[in-house]
Structure 1
Amino acid sequence: MSPELGHYALVLALCVAVAQGTLPLLGARRGDPGMMELGRTAALAQVALIAVAFLALVQAYVTSDFSVANVVRNSHTAKPLLYKITGTWGNHEGSMLLWVLILAVFGAGVAAFGSNLPPSLRARVLGIQGLIGVGFLAFILFTSNPFERLDPAPLNGDDLNPLLQDPGLAFHPPLLYLGYVGFSITFSFAIAALIEGRVDAAWARWVRPWTLASWCFLTLGIALGSWWAYYELGWGGFWFWDPVENASFMPWLLGTALLHSAIVTEKRDALKSWTLLLAILAFSLSLLGTFLVRSGVLTSVHAFAQDPARGLYILGFLIVVVGGGLGLYAWRAPKLAGGGLFAPVSREGGLVFNNLLLATLTLTVFLGTLFPLVLDALDAGKVSVGPPFYVATFIPLSLPLLIAVPIGPFLAWKRGDLRMALRQLVAVGVVAVAAGIVTLFIAHRSVVLAACGIAVAVWLVLGALRELARRIQLFGVPPGDSLRRLVGLPRAAIGMTIAHAALGLTVLGITGVSVWQTETIVMLKPGASVAHAGYEVTLDSVQDVRGPNYVAERARLVYRRDGAVAAILQPERRLFAVQRRVTTEAAIRTSPLADLYATIGESDGKGSWTVRLYHNPLAPWIWLGAALAALGGFISLTDRRLRVGAPRRTRAAAPQPAE
């Protein structure tokens, strides 16, 4: 499979995307079934063509075809096979090809599984999706061609950025893009609904599974990126509020709001305009993240800061998509019929409260991320917005949201009883407050923050379990009946319980690391020891080792407690010969209660090495919570009620006896 074939397939995909973006929309306007059906055919053809192009690029990497400029810039014959494959998307051009492939996959998903959608709505959704594809395919072909040839071809390549030669970051981009690009479908559904002028419970039922799937993948992508930064960059932290980190976090926050808002639209035919706006803004923030990473305005280990001209193209595309979507919303949304009424204290009211706080948190991160960039662009000075700003703003705003999470499911639809809901959670509240009081006596810094964090974590976990216990009437009926009720519960309810409890686990992990982390930075010679977090840590030796495409210094650190060996960690400092770049490979020993974390730095030339030691209590729960939250979402997706167009099963009426 030659690069020319891949390039030709991309050109054909652009032509198909143009047809997909025009003919179905025209057919829906005219009521022409044949033209509307062309959208489905074009979507399936487009994904096949882009898959051919992507596989052609993968083959060029695997075979080390250095006649392709993209391969030369990002690969090397000595690179392990895994990183040759993942190097396909470890660069600007390849990552954009992966982007449009996932975009086409989502469009093909609507074409293949949306047979129960109204033909006009499906045609319009596929048409909008096709127009988005036109923008990105044109961007690739005219500014970021991954198949550009070199003549003569060099004997070897420049190698991939060593920071990207890691399993965590190898699979981080595909998961992140599945979340980012997945919101394009909700955007297309929103624009199609605005064109038709109709939003109802059926529309919300079709949107929810796409939103949930995107949210799950984005959750995994963010968590994997955080985990990679934790062990690869060697700084002992899990989140730095880097602008590129924030670029993925903002659509996650709005996607969470959209997920809950769509429930109100489906169940109560309310919040229609708000749900449409969230669908537009969630994808708009995904495009903003794409612009920040590729415009050259950011310098980050995550960014492809290469060519500002590409950034101008994406900025123009962003303005067209976001401006067009918001303009259509401003024109058509006021004409949508109002939905059902509800009291402020109700399940709907709780979800509105949830949405308002999530939107406020998104705005906070948005301002903290873009304000320094705007000032710099206007030559009005440089301002650094870092963790202290977010600790002072994000945490106080998130606390009421987290406290409200367990209460919402106990409120009735339309009109609820807050006192009755809180009465159901008295025992949970007592345990949470007790946990916070105990924390006050054992925390040695950030005492109030620690107590609040532990109390909220316990409140979330036990609150989710208490709601599940209420559903199955635990201890209220015989155990066998409770088990049967559990088996018979909708999987969406089980998924919700897992996701809400998982949020508590993540809060628990964040609190533990933030409050009780112990850091020791020392210069050690082999045989020397240092006291650290209750351990005696000895630098046993430092040896030179060789990897497939690097050389490294590997330290052997022995942790002892009461004279007995408790752990042995072997961090490395790697030098990648081709790019002459050094990376830090942390060594981590994980237990349910804490991470032992160690890195080795430079030698002072006198036989001593810089050693960084961290003891991170409860750190594993951060990523376990994120993984369980995504698992809860995927379990919910298996609920038949959340499948796109799934018809309801009905029993045939039993014949009535003759009278």
Structure 2
Amino acid sequence: MLPEIGQFTLILACVLSFLQIVYPLYGVYSGHQGAIKSAKILTTLQFLAVACSFLILAYSFLINDFTVTYIAINSNSALPWYYRLSAVWGAHEGSLLLWVFLLALWSIAVALLSKRLPAESVARVLAVLGVLAFGFYLFVILTSNPFERTLPTFPIDGRDLNPLLQDFGLVIHPPMLYMGYVGFSVAFAFAIAALLEGRLDSAWAKWSRPWTMAAWVFLTIGIALGSWWAYYELGWGGWWFWDPVENASFMPWLAGTALIHSLAVSEKRGVFKSWTVLLALSAFSLSLLGTFLVRSGVLVSVHAFASDPTRGLFILGFLVLVIGGSLLLYAVQASKVKSRGRYQLASRESLLLLNNILLIAALIVVLLGTLLPLVHKEIGLGSISIGEPFFNRMFTILVVPFALFLGVGSLFRWKRQSLEELRKPLALILMVSVLSTIVFLFVFAPSLTWLAILGTFLGFWVIVAVAYEIYLRATHRHSFKVGLMKLGNSHWAMSLGHLGFAIMIIGITMTQNYSIEKDVKLAVGEDITFEQYNFHFDHVTSLQGQNYTATVGTFSVKQGQQHIVVMKAEKRIYTVQRMAMTEAAIDAGFTRDLYIAMGEQLPDGAWAVRIYYKPFIRWIWLGPLIMALGGLLMIGDRRYRSKKETMKKVGAQHV
């Protein structure tokens, strides 16, 4: 009975989303205040309906209701309860239900936290979100029903969740990633509502900015979690990068990064308004494109969900409708937008525009590198492969000017900047950056390559520039200590965002250039030494897990004569699917990771073992976490919470 209730509430949510489109828009264009106010009520009811549906599916997983086809395929009674819960979004149907649930969650957040916006503006935004929700509800109900029954016959037990997904990282990674994906729908809705209203002013940018930043924070954390999961779970000692489906999440991140910077300029200076709207449309459109790539079967990836052409055609049609409709509206209205601000070539506006251009250039590189092989194959020209060398080469070219501009951008004034005033600060930053690079590489690098020197220098260039800019701001009117306390959230957000990027660049540089990998044959009692570490193979034991059996290899690690750590690597066989999985042993450190993965046992009783030395790999994930922290500080800025600063009090400049 519960699955039927879940199905009913899902259909009810679909109906409510349709009413959320029609009735508020009727109120806006007829002046009917009751219809305008209904937007928040309908949004709340829609959220409650889809939340009920989602919770029923989750509960059905927890109680092992194998009369539901989706549960029978993706769960098992021996599966730990927390993996049964994550199995809700472990495959196509449940992940789509999670998508619409999160879209409803963002929608009700807009309804509840936009009390100081004009009611007509809120009604338009919620109506646009209703359009997106209605399309996805139809997709779930018509092609991807998670409540379909196996009755009258049903299995006694389920097929089990894919062992790759039986990991804590996959419990939290998809919800975070989806929160980012879906969160860009709010920026999209604000942009469409502003175009419909004929109002693109500083108020629009002001109220779009925290929502966009929130989505960007979630997407940043989601991508970092996915990278971390792939590093320790896939068992080959790197991080998963340039996989086509990972690219699908990277593209909206690039567009979102450009958008949050462009929104800052539009809010502060009233310029780039047309460009900002286009970025808002693009960020969510790329999220939809990623959904199509993952679920249409056009990509082959460990991350891909489905290969049903019916589903692919449905999403493609919805993609064309949403993107085409939004771009048509943009073409009609954006030509009338006028920027009120003026600025010279040497100004902060110019540098932000240059970095926006570089971000979009990087986005185009990823887009072409991901889609070109698909198009090439579909038009009958055969298969081509665009892999890691292409992306690495192109991004190296783009990151150099991006990091250089990023480092000094905050030193430039708005409108115009005298370059003569920056000669001494830039010389000081350059000198300290070069010295920091030399010392850092002398201490941590066993050899020098030009890529290592370049990447490390760019990282320190940004770090030193951020530190110098904070010093200037703090000592402008006060003592350094007092000045630091008076710096606002937005300033700290900018500084932490740039600092996180620099740390990530250094981490990637060191990992790419100085990682060491060895595939060795080891028997119990033998050892191997490299990078001043001695790995001794102590013994092999068996382990019985809740739904798997494992062979555990124990290794003692020494550095010189000093004992460092005991590491235990596992080779698991999952009971139901009989799939072998590697659970790597990792000794994590701030400046390096030691990584051991067990391979197969050889005929003579020895084992194939893979050992890695990964310098500074933790910095690759530390950087995004610092960037996300900066985003959270910006969201908490008092400008976006002050009751005195309403949209009505910001000078409206109509299209």
Q: TM-score w.r.t. structure 2 length?
A: 0.96
Q: 1:121-136 counterparts in 2 under 5 A?
A: 121-136=121-136
Residue number in structure 2 paired with 1:148: 148
The amino acid that maps onto 1:83 is Y
Give CA deviations for 1:53-88 in whole Å, capped at 9, x if unaligned: 000000000111111111101100100111011111
Q: Is 1:286 matched up with 2:284? A: no
In the alignment, is the contact (CA less than 8 A) between 1:440 and 1:447 conserved in 2? no
1:631 alignment partner, one of 629, 646, 650: 629
Q: Equivalents in 2 of 1:646, 1:73: separation in Å?
A: 51
SS at match of 1:464: helix
Q: Equivalents in 1 of 2:419, 2:249: separation in Å?
A: 35
Shift of 1:569: 1.1
Give CA deviations for 1:427-457 in whole Å, capped at 9, x if unaligned: 3321212344457778567711100111111
Q: Equivalents in 2 of 1:589, 1:568: separation in Å?
A: 9
Q: 1:612-651 counterparts in 2 under 5 A?
A: 612-643=610-641, 646-648=643-645
SS at match of 1:86: helix
Q: Equivalents in 2 of 1:617, 1:225: separation in Å?
A: 20
Give CA deviations for 1:371-395 in whole Å, capped at 9, x if unaligned: 0111122221111111100111111
- Give percent identity, aligned residues only: 45
The amino acid that maps onto 1:332 is Q
Residue number in structure 1 paired with 2:416: 415
In the alignment, is the contact (CA less than 8 A) between 2:573 and 2:579 conserved in 1? yes
Q: Equivalents in 1 of 2:482, 2:101: separation in Å?
A: 43
Q: Is 1:461 matched up with 2:459? A: no
The amino acid that maps onto 1:551 is T
The amino acid that maps onto 1:383 is I
Shift of 1:357: 0.6
1:156–1:208 CA distance, 2 compared to 1 (3 A) = same
Shift of 1:420: 2.4
Shift of 1:272: 0.7
SS at match of 2:410: helix
Q: Which moved more, 1:608-617 or 1:374-383?
A: 374-383
2:475 alignment partner, one of 473, 476, 486: 473
Residue number in structure 2 paired with 1:83: 83
In the alignment, is the contact (CA less than 8 A) between 1:407 and 1:421 conserved in 2? no
Q: Equivalents in 2 of 1:32, 1:336: separation in Å?
A: 29
Q: Is 1:394 matched up with 2:395? A: yes
2:449 alignment partner, one of 437, 441, 447: 447
In the alignment, is the contact (CA less than 8 A) between 1:520 and 1:532 conserved in 2? no
The amino acid that maps onto 2:94 is G
Q: Equivalents in 2 of 1:337, 1:454: separation in Å?
A: 42
Shift of 1:583: 1.3
Q: 1:295-306 counterparts in 2 under 5 A?
A: 295-306=296-307
Q: Is 1:497 matched up with 2:512? A: no
Q: Equivalents in 2 of 1:372, 1:431: separation in Å?
A: 44
Q: 1:209-608 counterparts in 2 under 5 A?
A: 209-437=210-438, 447-473=449-475, 481-608=479-606
The amino acid that maps onto 1:539 is F
Residue number in structure 1 paired with 2:18: 18
Residue number in structure 1 paired with 2:32: 32
Shift of 1:92: 0.7
The amino acid that maps onto 2:245 is V
Shift of 1:154: 1.1
SS at match of 2:407: coil
Give CA deviations for 1:587-620 in whole Å, capped at 9, x if unaligned: 1111111001110011113201110100001111
Q: Equivalents in 1 of 2:644, 2:472: separation in Å?
A: 29
Mark the runs of 5 or more structure 1 residues left unpaired by the alignment: 650-659
Residue number in structure 1 paired with 2:64: 64
In the alignment, is the contact (CA less than 8 A) between 1:443 and 1:515 conserved in 2? no
Give CA deviations for 1:169-224 in whole Å, capped at 9, x if unaligned: 11100000110000001111111111112100000000000110000000000000
Give CA deviations for 1:344-372 in whole Å, capped at 9, x if unaligned: 21111111111111011100110001101
Q: Equivalents in 2 of 1:104, 1:456: separation in Å?
A: 41
Residue number in structure 1 paired with 2:73: 73
Q: Equivalents in 2 of 1:36, 1:569: separation in Å?
A: 62
Q: Which moved more, 1:485-494 or 1:509-518?
A: 485-494
Q: 1:164-183 counterparts in 2 under 5 A?
A: 164-183=165-184
Q: Equivalents in 2 of 1:292, 1:469: separation in Å?
A: 46
1:419–1:554 CA distance, 2 compared to 1 (3 A) = farther
1:646–1:162 CA distance, 2 compared to 1 (3 A) = farther
Mark the runs of 5 or more structure 2 residues left unpaired by the alignment: 647-655
SS at match of 1:571: strand
Shift of 1:646: 4.3
SS at match of 2:123: helix
Q: Equivalents in 2 of 1:309, 1:648: separation in Å?
A: 48
Shift of 1:471: 1.2
Q: Equivalents in 2 of 1:133, 1:21: separation in Å?
A: 10
Q: TM-score w.r.t. structure 1 length?
A: 0.95
Q: Equivalents in 2 of 1:305, 1:380: separation in Å?
A: 25
Shift of 1:44: 1.0
Q: Equivalents in 2 of 1:468, 1:27: separation in Å?
A: 49
Shift of 1:105: 1.0
Q: Equivalents in 2 of 1:106, 1:359: separation in Å?
A: 26
The amino acid that maps onto 1:340 is G
Q: Equivalents in 2 of 1:150, 1:489: separation in Å?
A: 61
Q: Which moved more, 1:316-325 or 1:577-586?
A: 577-586
SS at match of 1:389: helix
In the alignment, is the contact (CA less than 8 A) between 1:204 and 1:263 conserved in 2? yes
Deviating beyond 6 angstroms after TM superposition, the runs of 4 or more aligned structure 1 residues are 439-442
Q: Equivalents in 1 of 2:418, 2:552: separation in Å?
A: 62
The amino acid that maps onto 1:351 is L
Shift of 1:422: 4.9
Q: Equivalents in 1 of 2:105, 2:560: separation in Å?
A: 57
Q: Which moved more, 1:533-542 or 1:437-446?
A: 437-446
Matched residue count: 644
Q: Equivalents in 1 of 2:227, 2:318: separation in Å?
A: 29
The amino acid that maps onto 1:66 is F
Q: Equivalents in 2 of 1:465, 1:525: separation in Å?
A: 51
In the alignment, is the contact (CA less than 8 A) between 1:215 and 1:252 conserved in 2? yes
In the alignment, is the contact (CA less than 8 A) between 1:461 and 1:502 conserved in 2? no
Q: Equivalents in 2 of 1:446, 1:42: separation in Å?
A: 62
1:423–1:47 CA distance, 2 compared to 1 (3 A) = farther
In the alignment, is the contact (CA less than 8 A) between 2:532 and 2:560 conserved in 1? no
Shift of 1:418: 3.3
The amino acid that maps onto 2:12 is L
Q: Equivalents in 2 of 1:570, 1:115: separation in Å?
A: 54
SS at match of 1:614: strand
> CA RMSD of the aligned region, Å?
1.6
Q: Equivalents in 1 of 2:213, 2:148: separation in Å?
A: 38
SS at match of 1:414: coil
Q: Which moved more, 1:193-202 or 1:416-425?
A: 416-425
In the alignment, is the contact (CA less than 8 A) between 1:179 and 1:218 conserved in 2? yes
The amino acid that maps onto 2:542 is D
Shift of 1:119: 2.1
Q: Equivalents in 2 of 1:371, 1:173: separation in Å?
A: 27
Q: Equivalents in 2 of 1:568, 1:421: separation in Å?
A: 53
SS at match of 1:406: helix
Residue number in structure 1 paired with 2:158: 157
In the alignment, is the contact (CA less than 8 A) between 2:519 and 2:609 conserved in 1? yes
In the alignment, is the contact (CA less than 8 A) between 1:598 and 1:611 conserved in 2? yes
